[in-house]
Structure 1
Amino acid sequence: MPARHAAFAWWGATACWFLGTLLGGRRTPVEAAVPPPVAVLVYAVCAGLWALLVYGVYRGVKGTRVALAVVGALGIVDLVVQLVGDVVTRAYGHGAFFLAALVLSGAGFVLLFRPS
């Protein structure tokens, strides 16, 4: 049952990440070179793949917990790095969504490995 609760936290984190990414604008030259519709499509594909991995945990597919733990830990590190950048650049709207994603990701991580 904790894996199902963890899935809801991860899905919420995915939604916050997607909305924060759309709100954040483009900071790097590579991001600025990509047309906005293509960028939104890439973000949507990434969020969709992540949501499918979380769905595998929700359904109890073997091996998805470990995969989610590894990729989730990397995602949490990335969220922290982006939050530091948001504080430095004073991008508070973007930072608010990423902070919510960080809190939900942390909750999902804790719930994922909590004993039943």
Structure 2
Amino acid sequence: MSPTRAPRAAFAWWGATACWFLGSLLGGRRTAVEAAVPLPVALLAYVVCAGLWALLVLGVYRGVGGTRVALAVIGVVGIADLVLQLAGDVTAGAVVHGAFFLAALVLSAAGFVLLLRRR
């Protein structure tokens, strides 16, 4: 990985993480499971998930071995989840949640392109 692509890919992934975090917080709770969890517990879960993802991206940024592959594999699962949630947002009419998750999807795609593209 070239030294110029890793920071750009990392910044795209960090931006996607921020959009996911803000969309999860500001988008409201739509399902019964989401509504059953108290707000502090949900906030803690969002912070932990976003923090772990940001640490994985930091490993890619610093060039730690194996993090690039791990980010690619876990990123595919994350993008599939974003697509499913966006489909749910379209049917439910959740505009704020959908806008942040659409931005996260675009930034994640940019992160993949910058991460896996050859020079």
* Percentage of pairs with the same residue: 77
Specify the code of the residue in structure 1 equivalent to 2:88. Answer: G
- Per the normalisation by structure 2, the TM-score is 0.94
- Per the normalisation by structure 1, the TM-score is 0.96
Specify the code of the residue in structure 2 equivalent to 1:59. Answer: R
Cα root mean square deviation, aligned = 0.8
> Which residue of structure 1 aligns with residue 48 of structure 2?
45
Residues 22-52 of structure 1 deviation map (CA, whole Å, 9 limit, x = unaligned): 0121122221111101101110110000000
State the SS of the aligned residue for 2:65: coil
Q: Which runs of 5+ in 1 are unaligned?
A: none
State the SS of the aligned residue for 1:61: coil
Q: How does 1:44-83 map to 2 (within 5 A)?
A: 44-83=47-86
Aligned equivalents of 1:44, 1:35: Cα separation in 2: 14
Aligned length: 116
> Which residue of structure 1 aligns with residue 109 of structure 2?
106
Q: Which runs of 5+ in 2 are unaligned?
A: none
